[in-house]
Amino acid sequence: MHQPPTAPPTARPGPATTAQTFPATPGQVSAARRFLAGLIDGFPAADDALLCLSELATNAIQHSHSARPGGQFTVRATWTPGHLRVEVEDDGGPWQPRPSHHDHGGHGLAILTALTRWDITDRDGHRAIWFEITT
């Protein structure tokens, strides 16, 4: 079920978090990127953030229970001047790479390590991987 983004209040002090849920299908990785790009326009490390989001959304779709029929993933973003936190929550389960002799992947978490500070949180059967970029 595709949900519209939740808009941050206009007169709220401090950072606001905006979230959107996407169906866990391959075409939704680009939709998640567009969602985040619209929120972080002008952020100095926007390209890095979009790359990292692509990796996490792809992992959610390919390696979690979100891959099951009806699965979904949620992107949450909090941006303040000089700091961005993005979280991708999936439907949980083990991340077991699917073997493929054409597999050229497996570098997503290395990219996160090179570009961000990140970690994994489990919540009520769901998994959230977040990253932070400070400029």
pLDDT tens per residue, range 117-126: 999 988 888 9
Residue 99 lies in a domain: no
Residue 114 lies in a domain: yes
Residue 5 lies in a domain: no
Residue 2 lies in a domain: no
Q: At 109, is the pLDDT very low, low, confident or very high (cuts 50, 70, 90)?
A: confident
**DSSP for 73-94, written as a single string:** EEEEEEEETTEEEEEEEE----
Q: At 36, is the pLDDT very low, low, confident or very high (cuts 50, 70, 90)?
A: very high
Residue 61 CB contacts under 8 Å (≥ 6 apart), including other chains = 24, 25, 26, 28, 29, 67, 71, 73
* pLDDT the model gives residue 100: 46
pLDDT tens per residue, range 70-85: 999 999 999 998 999 9
Mean pLDDT (whole number) for 2-25: 71
Give the count of domains, the chain.
Answer: 1
Q: At 96, is the pLDDT very low, low, confident or very high (cuts 50, 70, 90)?
A: low
Mean pLDDT lowest among 66-75, 92-101, 112-121? 92-101
Residue 82 lies in a domain: yes
Residue 31 CB contacts under 8 Å (≥ 6 apart), including other chains = 22
Mean pLDDT (whole number) for 90-107: 62
Residue 8 lies in a domain: no
Domain holding 57, by residue range, is 18-94+104-134
CATH number of domain containing 60: 3.30.565.10
**Mean pLDDT score across all residues of the chain:** 85
